[in-house]
A and B are shown apart, each in its own frame.
Chain A
């Protein structure tokens, strides 16, 4: 079940993700041209406020978007309802946000 607020949150997070996905793919294609290793990635991302902000924004949008998407599946396919549905949504959002943030921290800090 998708109320109007979650509907807007999913659309807005999708709109945020679209250019970020594109940017991520373009950088990836550019970066692998001369071979790719972890040192090269870390040289680009370590201490970079830009890449830190870029991927943290990405992680936030993914956490919101995916949590709402899985919420719909949980409701429609597995009949998760009421408070449990809210718990599932928040839990998935938190797990994605925290694990994503940890990954961003690992390559930026």
Chain B
């Protein structure tokens, strides 16, 4: 049931790599309205050229993250009442990523860093061998499980001040992924990964400010994962493995 009594004042950044500006829209407020609803309303009713990303609308795909009143959030899972400042909403593209157009960012650098951190699985068995038996209660599996639900939305990457200051830094998502794989006993490239996370822009550059943990929409703690990487790295260096 629509409630058209209140109007939201929504400022949306529009532009491209060459530059852009905020444009203000008046959007009808509705019950249970999400930020994605607001952006979609603007595109369908006022600004058909507005660019933004979304796919699943239910917090599974990680494609709709944007800066909502200065904080990285999923547009689809953020109720405007949780984000409003008065009746004002300010929407910008994700911080720390180059803009393609309007609210859509170029994610290639973000995904490239996953590869740089060896965030891929290197199997040690093929499909003909029996499935590995790993106790969910084992310490390494428990550590991996804490970070495994990442869906690559880049909210942590946008929240990270170290990435803002040092654009080469691998960032919380890639390092969190590397930590989950370092704790996967089935993986066969641990020395390689250990070297990857210790590259000049690696885990040791994290200042543990916990912006990533504060803004992760699925409540992961990449800071803790990076702390684990640092501990493991020092041990590996001491043992001459790196």
Q: How many positions in chain B have a CB within 8 Å of any CB in the partner chain?
A: 15
Q: Does B49 contact A (CB under 8 A)?
A: no
Q: Does B104 contact A (CB under 8 A)?
A: no
Q: Does B166 contact A (CB under 8 A)?
A: yes
Q: How many positions in chain A have a CB within 8 Å of any CB in the partner chain?
A: 11
Instruction: Establish whether residues B204 and A7, one from each chain, have CB atoms under 8 Å apart when the complex forms.
Output: yes
Q: Mark B197-236, 1 if CB is under 8 A from A, else 0.
A: 0101110110000000000000000000000001001100
Specify the chain B residue showing the minimal Cβ separation from A12: B234
Q: Does A35 contact B (CB under 8 A)?
A: no
A54-89 residues with Cβ-Cβ distance < 8 A to B are 72, 75-77
Please name all residues of chain A whose beta carbon is closer than 8 Å to the beta carbon of B204 when the two chains form the complex: 2, 4, 7
**Secondary structure of the A side of the interface?**
helix
Please name all residues of chain A whose beta carbon is closer than 8 Å to the beta carbon of B136 when the two chains form the complex: none
Q: Does B237 contact A (CB under 8 A)?
A: yes
Please name all residues of chain A whose beta carbon is closer than 8 Å to the beta carbon of B230 when the two chains form the complex: 7
Please name all residues of chain A whose beta carbon is closer than 8 Å to the beta carbon of B173 when the two chains form the complex: none
Task: For the complex, give the distance between the alpha carbons of A1 and B202 in Å.
Answer: 9
Instruction: Establish whether residues B234 and A11, one from each chain, have CB atoms under 8 Å apart when the complex forms.
Output: yes
Q: Does A3 contact B (CB under 8 A)?
A: yes
Task: For the complex, give the distance between the alpha carbons of A2 and B200 in Å.
Answer: 6
Task: For the complex, give the distance between the alpha carbons of A2 and B230 in Å.
Answer: 13
Specify the chain A residue showing the minimal Cβ separation from B201: A1
B contact set with A: CB distance below 8 Å: 162, 165-166, 168, 198, 200-202, 204-205, 230, 233-234, 237, 242
A3-B200, A4-B204 given; name 14 further pairs at CB < 8 Å: A1-B166, A1-B200, A1-B201, A2-B204, A4-B198, A4-B202, A4-B242, A7-B230, A7-B233, A8-B237, A11-B234, A75-B165, A75-B166, A76-B165
